[in-house]
Amino acid sequence: MYGLGDIAVNQFEHAADLLGLSESMRKRLSLPFREFTVQVPVLMDDGRVEVFLGYRVQHNGARGPTKGGIRYHPSVDLAETRGLASLMTWKTALLDLPFGGAKGGVGVDPRALSNNELERLTRKFTERIALALGPYRDIPAPDMGTNAQVMAWMLDEYSSKRGYSPAIVTGKPVGLGGSLGREEATGRGVTIVMREAARDFELPWKGGTAAIQGFGNVGANLAMILHSEGLRVIAVTDIEGGICNTAGLDVPALREHARKAGTVAGFAHGDPITNEELWKLECDYMIPAALGGVLTKDNAGDLQCRMVVEAANGPTTPIAEKILAERGIPLLPDFLANAGGVVVSYFEWTQNLQQMRWELDEVNAALERKMIAAYREVQTVAGEKNVPLRTAAYAIALKRVAEAEQMRGL
Ligand code: NAD
Q: What would the pLDDT profile of 238-263 be if each residue is shown by its tens digit?
A: 999 999 999 999 999 999 999 999 99
- Write down the pTM of the prediction: 0.96
Q: How far is CA 177 from the centre of its chain?
A: 22
Kindly list the protein residues whose Cβ atom lies closer than 6 A to any atom of ligand 1: 142-145, 186, 213-219, 237-239, 275, 289-291, 311-313, 338, 341
Phi, psi dihedrals of residue 138, rounded to the nearest 5°? -160, 125
Per-residue confidence band for 1, with pLDDT thresholds at 50, 70 and 90: very low
Question: How far apart are alpha carbons 31 and 24 in whole angstroms?
Answer: 11
Q: Which atom of ligand 1 is nearest to the CA of 218?
A: 26
Q: Give the residue, by CA position, lying nearest to ligand 1 atom 23.
A: 144
The ligand 1 atom at the shortest distance from the C-alpha of residue 238 is 21
Distance 248 CA to ligand 1 centre (A): 22
Burial class (CB in 10 A: 0-12, 13-18, 19+), 248: middle
Q: How high is the pLDDT of residue 30?
A: 92
58: left (phi over 0), alpha (psi -120 to 50) or beta: beta
CA angle 313, 194, 243 (to 5 degrees): 70
Name the nearest CA neighbour of 200 among 54, 337, 69, 379: 379
Q: Which residues are catalytic?
A: 103
**Which atom belonging to ligand 1 lies closest to the Cα atom of 171?**
40
**Most distant CA atoms of the chain, gap in Å:** 62
What's the pLDDT score for residue 14? 81
Centroid of ligand 1 to alpha carbon of 145 (angstroms): 7
Q: Which of 72, 192, 239, 251 to mutate to test the pocket of ligand 1 (most atoms within 8 A of CB)?
A: 239
The residue whose CB lies within 8 Å of the most ligand 1 atoms, and thus the one to mutate among 143, 225, 243, is 143
Neighbouring residues of 232: CB distance < 8 A, sequence distance ≥ 6: 207, 208, 209, 210, 247, 248, 249
CA torsion through residues 279, 282, 288, 293, sign? positive
13 falls in which pLDDT band (50, 70, 90)?
confident
Mutate which of 67, 103, 218 for ligand 1? The one with the most ligand atoms within 8 Å of its CB, which is: 218
